[in-house]
């Protein structure tokens, strides 16, 4: 099987995020980056499929700045076979559709049987790339999989996902397809020392964003960012029970604006 995994470098979720002086972007100085956690599930799932079908080939692809090569090396150390880096000098978050178009341009010539992604990137939480990739490649998309069964011989894929109320939904389709992976689908492995050493020696193919035949001008303009503030207020209501209820409803409607 020919498996492609799309991954993304994101700010370390364990760090406190600060904004730059004009509030137009996050402060990227002294900021460490990691692979988006949902993408780790996608890489691990690809490796488990290869363990079932040993003749499979896993190619990991990322779009990002020069530092994004680190997450490709991590994937290679985990067990991926090849890596492609779409080098993007734009350090700000790309619009999801532009990212999907760039990835589709790179993926299409590979003729994959399966494309795996995380359900979303944890920096913008846009949940766009997986669905857009399916549309651009002409593949069905099976979204938010908490279990996946891939049958390379019968050329089909079945996923299980959880709906509201704990209802489980099974979806089946033919290959090729796009699957986005949810937390719980597996437990990502740590790269082994031999895997890390091998990954250092592997060649990462690099493609510049400018070389792709796509429009890179974003339709979305980020005017400013701000850190949410938490304001705590105490309203003590002391009255008759019916009056207390009326006042509570008024406060929730007029001040808190939650009803």
Helix (H) or strand (E) holding 7: strand 2-7
Entry field: residues in the chain: 259
How many Cβ atoms from other residues are within 10 Å of residue 8's Cβ? 26
pLDDT, average across residues 115-141: 94
Q: What is the pLDDT of residues 70-106, one digit of tens each?
A: 999 999 999 999 999 999 988 777 889 999 999 999 9
pLDDT band for position 238 (cuts 50, 70, 90): confident
What does the mean pLDDT of the chain come to?
A: 91
pLDDT band for position 17 (cuts 50, 70, 90): confident
pLDDT, average across residues 234-257: 84
Helix (H) or strand (E) holding 42: helix 37-52
Structural domain spans, the chain: 2-211, 229-259
Strand blocks (E) in 82-146 = 82-87, 114-118, 141-145
Distance, in Å, from the CA atom of 35 to the CA atom of 69, rounded to the nearest integer, reads 10
Instruction: Give the per-residue pLDDT at 234.
Output: 76
The answer to whether 177 and 140 are in contact (CB under 8 A) is yes
Q: What is the pLDDT of residues 21-65, one digit of tens each?
A: 887 778 777 788 999 999 999 999 999 999 999 999 999 999 999
Instruction: Give the per-residue pLDDT at 231.
Output: 72
pLDDT, average across residues 117-127: 90
Instruction: Give the per-residue pLDDT at 204.
Output: 96
How many Cβ atoms from other residues are within 10 Å of residue 241's Cβ? 7
Q: What is the CATH number of domain 2-211?
A: 3.40.50.620
Close Cβ partners of 7 (under 8 Å, ≥ 6 residues apart): 35, 36, 39, 42, 43, 60, 61, 62, 71, 72, 75, 118
The answer to whether 103 and 4 are in contact (CB under 8 A) is no
Query: Sheet of 147-151: strands edge to edge?
Result: 147-151, 156-162, 168-174
Q: What is the pLDDT of residues 54-77, one digit of tens each?
A: 999 999 999 999 999 999 999 999
Q: What is the pLDDT of residues 158-192, one digit of tens each?
A: 999 998 888 999 999 999 999 999 999 999 999 99
Cβ-count burial of 203 within 10 angstroms (0-12 exposed, 13-18 middle, 19+ buried)? exposed
Asked whether residue 20 carries a pLDDT value surpassing 90, the answer given is: no
Tell me which residue of 93, 154, 161 sits closest to 124, measured CA to CA.
93
């Amino acid at each position: 099987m020919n498996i492609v995994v799309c991954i993304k470098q994101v700010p370390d979720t364990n760090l406190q995020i600060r904004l730059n002086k004009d509030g137009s972007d996050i402060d990227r100085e002294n900021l460490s980056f990691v692979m988006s956690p949902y993408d780790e599930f996608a890489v691990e799932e690809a490796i488990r499929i290869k363990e079932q079908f040993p003749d499979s080939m896993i190619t990991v692809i990322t779009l990002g700045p020069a530092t994004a090569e680190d997450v490709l090396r991590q994937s290679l150390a985990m067990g991926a076979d090849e890596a492609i880096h779409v080098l993007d000098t734009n350090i700000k978050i790309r619009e999801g559709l532009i990212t999907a178009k760039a990835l589709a341009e790179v993926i299409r010539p590979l003729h994959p049987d399966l494309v795996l992604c995380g359900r979303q990137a944890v920096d913008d939480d846009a949940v766009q790339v997986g669905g857009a990739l399916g549309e651009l490649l002409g593949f069905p998309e099976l979204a938010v999989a908490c279990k996946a069964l891939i049958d390379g011989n019968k050329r089909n894929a079945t996923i299980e996902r959880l709906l509201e109320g704990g209802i489980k939904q099974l979806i089946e389709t033919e290959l090729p397809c796009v699957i986005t992976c949810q937390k719980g689908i597996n437990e990502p492995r740590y790269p082994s020392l031999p895997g890390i050493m091998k990954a250092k020696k592997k060649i990462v193919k690099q493609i510049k964003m400018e070389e792709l035949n796509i429009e890179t001008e974003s339709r979305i303009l980020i005017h400013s960012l701000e850190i949410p503030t938490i304001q705590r207020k105490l309203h003590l209501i002391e009255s008759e029970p019916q009056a207390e209820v009326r006042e509570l409803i008024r406060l929730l409607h007029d001040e808190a604006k939650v009803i």
